[in-house]
Amino acid sequence: MQLLFCRLRTHQWCFLLFNVALFHALLFGADIVEEYLLQSSPNTYTDVQTLDIRERARKLDMGQVKGNASRYFRISNTDACSHGNLFLLAFVSSNAGNVTRREVIRKTWANVSQVQGYGLLTLFAIGIPQTQATQEEINKEYADHRDIIQGTFPDSANNAVLKTIMIMRWAVTFCPKALFILKSDEETFVNYRSLVEYLLSLKRHAEDLYIGRVNHQVMPIRDPLNKHHVPISLYSGKYYPDYCSSTAYVISQDVARKVFVASVAMVTSMPEDIYVGICARKAGVVPIHSSRFSGEKHIRFNRCCYKFIFSSFGMKSEELDEAWEEINDSRPCTMLEMYYGLIKCKALTYLDKLTSHDSTESEESVPPKH
């Protein structure tokens, strides 16, 4: 009887160790593969142009913008970052007329001002709406929340690049001490807790960081009849530089400065995320891929999965409410729930990443949504 009991205890310990090993393999194993096999080529760019951009970024003086903010911003909100140093400054690119959507985001995933004692600030980036009535609504919204910056350009899909440049300009001018900057879309759910914990775990200096869902070897479309047509005169390379999906990515403060400096000599008639990727390439910054950013993929809700990922795209307002309520539930994930959630996350994100390599082989393919 005693021998049988010992054997049972041994089997229990073996089962427990197996589960612990499996859990860590699911949690970390694929990330190790990703880190070494799916990253962009770790080249160091040291040409004259790159060195010049990096030097100008280091010496960047934004005094002119500070002294004449109304030239660049309809709503400058210059004091939004004045209360102290920030760990993460987040910008949500929003359609000017989507007042209701911004309110949902405020009440859900953006309703976080710190993680583990590290400060966060969320701002909405918009352009000029089509009607004065909408502008009056925005003025009231700004008075109520003080979390909007507004450019001097019309708010349209064609001006997405101008909105991104505005974000970079505001960040380096009015919040230069924020360590990291997140840019996301209003259709995206962002898990601040998971993201900040990851950034805190980085064993590297907070420099040259440009991380998100990387699009690799996307070919410019040369067909003049295609709405995504990019002429050789605008971009002559066979492939675009690797770039992060505009749905959600994080850059360090120095990268914001470098991208802003590089953008001065760039035309803006280009998809937003490709534009940022080209500016980063000119500044010698290599994007880092993380499958915990969903890119343009909508990850079907799973509580344990959503506690792990950084972002999920294509979220409806009711889905935001559900996701926020569930991931803030104090219930811990059981071992089985964690297995299921992580398997689902990994399967969806890694298969999507691997298949995306095949989809970029033809010049007739349509580039990712911008």
Residue boundaries of the structural domains of the chain: 40-358
pLDDT the model gives residue 279: 96
Cα distances (angstroms) measured from residue 224 to each of 32, 227, 230, 267, 308: 42, 8, 8, 19, 42
CB-facing half-sphere around the CA of 155: CA atoms within 13 A: 23
Which positions ≥6 away from 156 have C-beta within 8 Å?
127
pLDDT the model gives residue 46: 63
- Among the residue ranges 13-27, 83-97, 226-240, 294-308, the one predicted with the least confidence is 13-27
Give percent of the chain above pLDDT 90: 60
**Mean pLDDT computed over 316-328:** 88
**Mean pLDDT computed over 73-84:** 92
Q: Nearest 5°: CA angle at 357, between 352 and 360?
A: 115
Which one-letter DSSP state was computed for residue 84?
S
pTM of the shown model: 0.83
pLDDT (tens digit per residue) in 108-142: 999 999 999 999 999 999 999 999 999 999 999 99
**Could you say which architecture CATH assigns to the domain 40-358?**
Alpha-Beta Complex (3.90)
pLDDT of 42 > 70? The answer is no
Contact 213, 243 (CB under 8 A): no
